[in-house]
């Protein structure tokens, strides 16, 4: 489906990705793991076409590296960015409808989208209850569901999720990840960036580990989960103590 070769992305004179190669197969769920600043979000934005890159990005055999973001989205490569980015002043329903631009283009009337809408509501029933509510007023978990639902309305051929668990309560994360697995089982390949390495490795088929702009390890998620090096670096041997009290619970909702 997606093949990336020797991808280099720069911010001005600073090189953030130094030649990444990666591939995603049909129906696969692939996790991308790495510390803050490793370049995970940069990689997703490079694929989405919101950053200029060099190297080769191929999707379904077509070179998309030079294409504009809107065009890449229309091909079915849809990203749910970090921090959700719902359209705050639109209702839940309007947000979902705007998601159909990827599959159906700009138009005066939305047309009939009830089938897709029901499909999204079947996965996230909470959205149906809140369909007339403005997106900004929803909780963090609901916004994340909306952001994923909006991407599904665009009929993704590849779904990229950036930190879907960020800022959510553990119980909400559990529910959300069940849904993500459900979406993947329905035939949508997923590339997931996740800080919560243990969770990401548990639900994914394969994983890549990104460190300072290069891929340092890749393999089956199950193998990586038990790899002592990965264990030490990302899953942690000891309990991490929270030193700074101010940061506790700051992210929540």
Chain residues that interact with other proteins, rule: CB under 8 A: 48-50, 68-71, 73-74, 78-79, 81, 85, 87-90, 94-95, 97-99, 101-103, 105-110, 134, 136-137, 150-151, 154
Q: Where are the strands (E) in the chain, listed by range?
A: 2-11, 14-24, 29-33, 53-59, 62-63, 77-80, 158-162, 190-193, 206-211, 214-220
Return the number of the residue (89 or 236) whose C-beta is nearest other proteins.
Answer: 89
* Min CB(44)–other proteins separation in Å: 10
Residue among 157, 159, 209 nearest 179 (CA): 159
Return the number of the residue (159 or 209) whose C-beta is nearest other proteins.
Answer: 159
* Min CB(190)–other proteins separation in Å: 16
* Min CB(229)–other proteins separation in Å: 34
Token digits of residue 154:
């665009």
Residues whose CB falls within 8 Å of the CB of residue 12, separated by 6 or more in sequence, listed in order: none
Return the number of the residue (20 or 102) whose C-beta is nearest other proteins.
Answer: 102
* Min CB(116)–other proteins separation in Å: 14
Gap between the terminal Cα atoms of the chain = 35
Question: Sign of torsion, CA 219 225 228 231?
Answer: positive
Return the number of the residue (153 or 209) whose C-beta is nearest other proteins.
Answer: 153
Runs of H (alpha helix) within 39-139:
40-48, 69-74, 92-98, 101-104, 114-123, 125-129
Could you identify the residue written with the tokens 């953030």?
16
* Min CB(199)–other proteins separation in Å: 24
Return the number of the residue (81 or 141) whose C-beta is nearest other proteins.
Answer: 81
* Min CB(84)–other proteins separation in Å: 9
Question: Sign of torsion, CA 33 103 134 131?
Answer: negative
* Min CB(77)–other proteins separation in Å: 9
Residue environment code for 18-54, b if the CB has 16+ CB neighbours within 10 A, otherwise e: eebebebeeebbbbbbbeeebbbbbbbbbbbbebebe
Return the number of the residue (59 or 234) whose C-beta is nearest other proteins.
Answer: 59
Q: Using DSSP bridges, classify how beta strands 190-193 and 29-33 pair: parallel, antiparallel or unpaired.
A: parallel
Return the number of the residue (159 or 201) whose C-beta is nearest other proteins.
Answer: 159
């Amino acid at each position: 489906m997606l093949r990336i070769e020797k991808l280099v992305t720069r911010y001005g004179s600073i090189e953030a990705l130094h030649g990444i190669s990666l591939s995603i197969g049909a129906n696969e769920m692939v996790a991308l793991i790495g510390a803050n600043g490793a370049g995970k979000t940069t990689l997703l934005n490079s694929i989405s076409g919101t950053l200029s890159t060099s190297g080769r990005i191929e999707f379904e055999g077509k070179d998309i590296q030079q294409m504009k973001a809107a065009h890449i989205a229309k091909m079915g490569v849809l990203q749910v960015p970090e921090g959700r980015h719902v359209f705050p002043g639109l209702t839940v329903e309007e947000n979902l409808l705007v998601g159909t631009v990827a599959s159906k283009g700009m138009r005066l009337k939305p047309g009939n989208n009830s089938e897709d809408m029901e499909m999204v509501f079947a996965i996230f029933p909470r959205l149906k209850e809140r369909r007339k509510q403005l997106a900004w007023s929803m909780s963090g978990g609901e916004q994340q569901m909306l952001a994923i639902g909006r991407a599904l309305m665009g009929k993704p051929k590849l779904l990229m999720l950036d930190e879907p668990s960020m800022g959510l309560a553990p119980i909400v994360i559990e529910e959300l990840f069940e849904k993500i697995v459900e979406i993947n089982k329905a035939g949508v390949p997923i590339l997931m960036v996740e800080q919560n390495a243990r969770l990401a490795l548990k639900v994914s088929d394969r994983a890549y580990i990104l460190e300072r702009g290069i891929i340092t390890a890749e393999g089956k998620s199950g193998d990586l989960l038990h790899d002592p090096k990965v264990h030490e670096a990302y899953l942690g041997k000891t309990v991490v103590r929270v030193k700074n009290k101010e940061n506790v619970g700051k992210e929540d909702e």
